[in-house]
Structure 1
Amino acid sequence: MSDSVENKVVIREYNEDRDIKVVGKLERKCEIGTNKKVSIFTNMIGDPLSRIRFYPVHVMLVAELRENGELVGVVKGCIKCVGTRFGASYVRLGCILGLRVSPRHRRMGIGFELVKSVEEWLIGNGAHYTFLATEKNNVASTNLFTSKCNYMNFTSLVIFVQPASLPVRGLSQDIKIEKLQADQAIYLYNNKFRSKDMFPTDVDAILKEKLSIGTWVSYFKEEEWISLHNNEDIVTKTPSSWAMFSIWNSCDAYKLHIRKV
């Protein structure tokens, strides 16, 4: 740490008994907003570790002011094994998420120290790489990770949102939608993932977890997907155009509040 930050802040592991309420308040102070009219807040339903608890190797670090013990920052880290198309059987990937610094204590280097501390923890626990996701228009976060921490842009993720209360549009009569068995979904996902630079190796655990609602495929009726209903290889006889999606019951893990200011 730089002397100025080191003299003011200590980084330590999260203590559930003493920190749970304070971390909850800090999360609410750091609501994410892409503009002044809309903000997104992740409600952890009383469990700040909910996003990482199911990973065998995980940690939460907090930043605390030395002078009065005020908790002013938090970051989470976990390790997952992922596959690659580059020959290695798997890679231990360190994930950094939930970086938060109290609005009153930003631009002091606290976020940087939290990142370096969680990186050290991840590497010490066998991570080959570390990665994170941030919003494209979050300039402060992008500058922190690319300019100060030497991260590079690996890929882009697009998240689509639609209110569930909107009227359901009529489906085309030419489209058929079918629910897959868990083993069929696992087989299809693993087959498609093989060509990706990096992909999860625990799809079976994800789709068989109790919060997994199911996986569906859609395709044109005129190209009947016969192999879905027999013992044939469903991959070698796919329609010319098809899509699949899975639904996860995230409501029992955390809630997203979209607020208009």
Structure 2
Amino acid sequence: MEREELIIVVREYDAETDRSAAEAVDRICEVGTSGKVSLCMDLLGDPVSRIRHSPAYLMLVAETSGPVREIVGVIRGSVKIVACGRKMPRQGGGGTRTHGPAAAPIYTKVGYILGLRVLPSHRRMGIGLKLVKRMEEWFGEKGAEYAYMATTKGNDASLGLFTGCGYSKFRTPSILVHPVFVHRLPVPRSAAVLRIPPADAEVIYRRRLAATEFFPRDIDAVLANPLSVVTLLAVPAGCAASERWSGAEAFLAAPPESWAIASVWDCGGVFRLEIRGASRLRRAAAAATRAADRAMPWLRIPSVPDLFRPFGAWFLYGIGGEGPAAATMAAAVWREAHNTARGAAAVVAAEVAETEPLRRGIPRWRLLSGADDVWCVKRLAEEYSDGAVGDWTKSTPGPSIFVDPREL
């Protein structure tokens, strides 16, 4: 007797009936591994919470058909408008780090795929491909010209799935992670770090970073989101802006020679991470560093936070700046973010392009920093293109990318 063919139905996620089953699929699938030690993610709230901060989003589930139905796969997606390049006038200047005020961004609508999960017992059955194809159909319905996704360089299965259905490797940013110590980190004396309101941050971002690849046109919504903790602006100590903040317009009219900016996103409001499989020796060693740091904070011991229970992370996004000392200003921003995160998060992270000029100002621990990401992109429909940049999938990488925190 022949075995009955398994029928899979892909449909939209229903929060009332699918929540527990979708959560189970997420729990079973690991975020990343390194030997016997694994990094796991636990979503907080409804499984759709990871994408509900986006302007348009959808979650799909793959369900077996028959008397006993089982959810065996999930996928999440969002659609937004981002910058895919810049258009410069014939005569125009430029900055040393980001595009100057004359750089006009070219926008396109893109669909982003994240959270593709298939139960191990149902892999290699084409379920992942079905989920991707249905999500791409929704992207097309929303008018998206491109679809993209992110995975790690070592995830051969994911890369094989997406490259096999038309995606090409596009950008390779790096994830930089640093623990939050018990003690404060001193901000360089050469810099002053200002906390600026979202409205001023929006003006600076639109004037200086709007042409950066993947810059979201709705940056105002990102900055106004409750998970966006603060925007930090570092300037040279003693300059006019450091003494008195007069607003973004005044700052941009006469900016200091060097400056840097970044905003902070509380990832702990959406998900928590946990390192599992670490030996008792490693746990004890980490606990010893924390105890010593609490007892003698003046020694500034590089203590390891408790990463072996669910912990939150803060993410720096919108990293940008200009001038010869911009990397030093970026380091000052990062240190202030670290100090603000004490007691609220266990790590501070950022994701930057391989060629990011400010990268050397962002500290990281290699043991915590994940493998480099691979962003893959696919052009969905030729008729959506206005010809401004041609085919974005074949464009030359710029020095920087804008990583939207809503897509973490």
Normalising by structure 2, report the TM-score. 0.57
Letter in 2 for 1:91: T
1:113 aligns to 2:112 (yes or no): no
Task: Tell me the SS of whatever aligns to 1:141.
Answer: helix
1:60-105 Cα deviation digits (max 9, x unpaired): 1111122532211100112112234356863221111110011122
Query: How many Å apart are 1:115 and its aligned residue?
Result: 0.7
Alpha-carbon distance between aligned partners in 1 of 2:261 and 2:46, rounded to the nearest angstrom: 32
Deviates more, 1:66-75 or 1:227-236: 227-236
**Match in the other structure for 1:20:** 19
Alpha-carbon distance between aligned partners in 2 of 1:53 and 1:180, rounded to the nearest angstrom: 26
Query: How many Å apart are 1:173 and its aligned residue?
Result: 1.9
Q: 1:238 to 1:154 in 2, by over 3 A?
A: farther
Letter in 2 for 1:209: N
**Match in the other structure for 1:90:** 107
Q: Residue 177 of structure 1 is aligned with which of 170, 186, 193?
A: 193
Task: Tell me the SS of whatever aligns to 2:193.
Answer: strand
Across the aligned residues of Structure 1 and Structure 2, the Cα RMSD in angstroms comes to 2.5
Alpha-carbon distance between aligned partners in 2 of 1:122 and 1:223, rounded to the nearest angstrom: 47
Number of paired residues? 256
**Match in the other structure for 2:75:** 75
Alpha-carbon distance between aligned partners in 1 of 2:230 and 2:119, rounded to the nearest angstrom: 39
**Match in the other structure for 2:259:** 242
Deviates more, 1:76-85 or 1:163-172: 163-172
Query: How many Å apart are 1:257 and its aligned residue?
Result: 2.5
**Match in the other structure for 1:193:** 209
Structure 2: unaligned runs, 5 residues or longer: 88-104, 279-408
Task: Tell me the SS of whatever aligns to 1:91.
Answer: strand
**Match in the other structure for 2:158:** 141
1:204 aligns to 2:220 (yes or no): yes
Q: 1:222 to 1:152 in 2, by over 3 A?
A: farther
Alpha-carbon distance between aligned partners in 2 of 1:56 and 1:91, rounded to the nearest angstrom: 15
**Match in the other structure for 2:356:** none
1:227, 1:237 within 8 Å by CA — same for their partners in 2? no
Letter in 2 for 1:154: F
Structure 1: unaligned runs, 5 residues or longer: none
Q: Percent of pairs identical after alignment?
A: 37
Query: How many Å apart are 1:228 and its aligned residue?
Result: 6.4
Task: Tell me the SS of whatever aligns to 1:162.
Answer: strand
1:9, 1:64 within 8 Å by CA — same for their partners in 2? yes
**Match in the other structure for 2:245:** 229
Query: How many Å apart are 1:7 and its aligned residue?
Result: 4.5
Query: How many Å apart are 1:145 and its aligned residue?
Result: 1.1
